[in-house]
């Protein structure tokens, strides 16, 4: 049985599983996730099957499965694109990887923690962000189902400055690969 660990950031909302999460709330992990870190900025790429960031924002489910890569040591940002190119909407999650023990909890606004959704399908792009006085977010890292992944849930209140409104981000889920250390 996997334990849920709340990772709280300055965001509010509820979470529910995407299709790749079983009825018990466990996030299914993909196998074979040895992916090199791509330092080029040549566009979004498909990653290994099973990685995603998804959530409902402004009444729309935003499933992002592209450009999800392991973070090398010292990096804090995960960007997950809805489409195959970097001119499509994307989730931007910024935090340190949890070190356990699980559950692991952190709050948006602490240190470098924040959550954003950038909607590039409109001009100018809409930037929904927890980095506002009324923004908040919570990340819950679950006990990893595989030593090769981090996975869990999130909820948030994201501020959209162009409309001067807050929007709830609910049903948030994520799974991304761990950085593999070089070794024998």
CA distance 95 to 114: 7
Quick one: tokens of 110?
């602490």
SS3 per residue for 125-159 = CEEEECCCCCCEEEEEEECCCCCCEEEEEEEEEEE
* pLDDT tens digits, one per residue of 28-83: 333 333 333 344 444 455 555 789 999 999 999 999 999 998 888 888 999 999 99
Contact 29, 148 (CB under 8 A): yes
Mean pLDDT of the chain: 76
pTM, entire model: 0.74
User: How far from 57 is each of 48, 90, 102, 161, CA to CA, in Å?
Assistant: 25, 12, 27, 15
């Amino acid at each position: 049985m996997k334990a849920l660990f709340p990772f709280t950031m300055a965001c509010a909302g509820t979470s529910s599983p995407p299709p790749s999460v079983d009825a018990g709330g466990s996030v299914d992990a993909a196998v074979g996730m040895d992916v090199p870190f791509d330092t080029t900025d040549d566009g979004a790429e498909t990653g290994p099957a099973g990685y995603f960031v998804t959530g409902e924002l402004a009444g729309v489910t935003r499933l992002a499965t592209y450009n999800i890569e392991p973070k090398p040591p010292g990096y804090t940002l995960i960007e997950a694109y809805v489409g195959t190119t970097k001119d499509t909407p994307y989730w931007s999650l910024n935090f340190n990887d949890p070190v356990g023990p699980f559950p692991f909890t952190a709050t948006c606004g602490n240190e470098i923690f924040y959550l954003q959704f950038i909607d590039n399908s409109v001009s100018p792009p809409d930037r929904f962000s927890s980095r506002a006085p009324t923004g908040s977010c919570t990340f819950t890292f679950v006990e990893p189902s595989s030593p090769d992944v981090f996975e869990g849930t999130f909820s948030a209140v994201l501020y959209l400055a162009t409309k001067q409104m807050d929007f709830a981000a609910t049903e948030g889920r994520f799974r991304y690969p761990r950085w593999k250390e070089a070794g024998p």
